[in-house]
Amino acid sequence: MKKFLLNAVICSSIIVASTGPASAHEMFLKANDYTLAPNTNSFLQLFTGTFDKSANSVGRDRMNDVSFVHNGTTTHPSNDQWFDSNNISFLNIKTAEAGTYVAGVSTNAATITLSIEDFTGYLKHDGILDTLKDFEKNNTLKQVRERYSKHVRTIFQVGDTRTDDYKKNLGYPIEILVNENPTDLNVNDDLGFQVLFEGKPIASQLVYVSYEGFHGHDTSGGHLNAYKLRTDANGRATFKIQKPGNWYISLIHMEKITDPDADYQSDWGTVTFQVK
């Protein structure tokens, strides 16, 4: 599966052609219902795999941080609020007063060792094209040790009151911060966002944007599953909302590092939200 060119060039985003296939290892935190009443029980879903299907649940020992943000207050749900079913991890929540809510999960780093063939195949499969280009040109390794962690958030609305909690920086290594409250977006509106790595904007970062159930074809008949764009010098990009539904923004930031225990470090980030 391939990712394809965003059909609207907006602001200072740099739009690029797509060659990468769909990721099979991403993580998404999704609301079961993106519009809730105050003082209501519900749950969030943590997917590991694709946006549409989770391949496995996530152990609590892998979770470095779980945050629940509303009306300027951040709480940290306990482990006993989680349960697993059908390869999905679920978080029981209860809303409080009206407002725009954010929930986030950040995992501890883990390390995997891959053969050169497996590493290059993974870079191609997950669309990590800048690292792939540099690796194919300059690699001297016989195997690759990658340290990776994942940092995800979801934005949902409780009641009618809008708050600016959707802008909340959770302090994760990778942050995708949207410029507007998704609750107020309509089809054909533009949504801007900024990508931060360790608190600083990332220029020229590849980012993928898509929505639930999307499927298209390129001119050769190949499968397409996401828009693809790059951030500008300030880590910002913008895209057009083309239809109602559940949307996501995703990226994988990978760097070659000098470390006795790893050769590369990757931080994976996603944000999910709904447009009505």
Q: What is the pLDDT of residues 3-19, one digit of tens each?
A: 444 433 334 344 333 43
Distance of alpha carbon 206 from alpha carbon 126, whole angstroms: 11
Q: Where are the alpha helices (DSSP H) in 74-207?
A: 116-125, 129-138
Distance of alpha carbon 227 from alpha carbon 118, whole angstroms: 25
Residues of the chain with pLDDT > 70: what percent?
Answer: 88
The terminus-to-terminus CA distance of the chain in angstroms comes to: 27
Tell me the longest C-alpha to C-alpha distance in the chain: 57
Which among 19, 20, 10, 22 has a CA at the least distance from the CA of 215?
Answer: 22
For the CA atoms of 124, 130, 134, 140, the dihedral, rounded to the nearest 10 degrees, stands at -50
Distance of alpha carbon 22 from alpha carbon 2, whole angstroms: 6
pLDDT value for 14: 40
User: At 24, is the pLDDT very low, low, confident or very high (cuts 50, 70, 90)?
Assistant: very low
Q: Return the minimum-mean-pLDDT range out of 39-43, 218-222, 234-238.
A: 218-222
pLDDT value for 219: 67
pLDDT value for 223: 65
Rg of the Cα atoms in the chain: 18
Distance of alpha carbon 271 from alpha carbon 4, whole angstroms: 19
Task: Read off the amino acid at residue 252.
Answer: I
The better pLDDT of the pair 1, 41 is held by: 41
Contact 187, 209 (CB under 8 A): no
User: At 125, is the pLDDT very low, low, confident or very high (cuts 50, 70, 90)?
Assistant: confident
pLDDT value for 214: 84
Mean of pLDDT over the chain = 91
pLDDT value for 225: 81
Q: Which residues contact 89 (CB under 8 A, 6 or more apart)?
A: 45, 46, 57, 58, 82, 83
Beta bridge partners of 178: 193
Q: Report whether pLDDT(175) > 90.
A: yes
Q: Report whether pLDDT(130) > 90.
A: yes
* Torsion 145-208-191-40 (CA) sign: negative
> What percentage of the chain's residues is helix, strand, coil (to nearest 5)?
10, 50, 35
User: At 215, is the pLDDT very low, low, confident or very high (cuts 50, 70, 90)?
Assistant: confident
Q: Report whether pLDDT(216) > 70.
A: no
User: At 25, is the pLDDT very low, low, confident or very high (cuts 50, 70, 90)?
Assistant: confident
pLDDT tens-digit profile of 53-97? 999 999 999 999 999 999 999 999 999 999 999 999 999 999 999
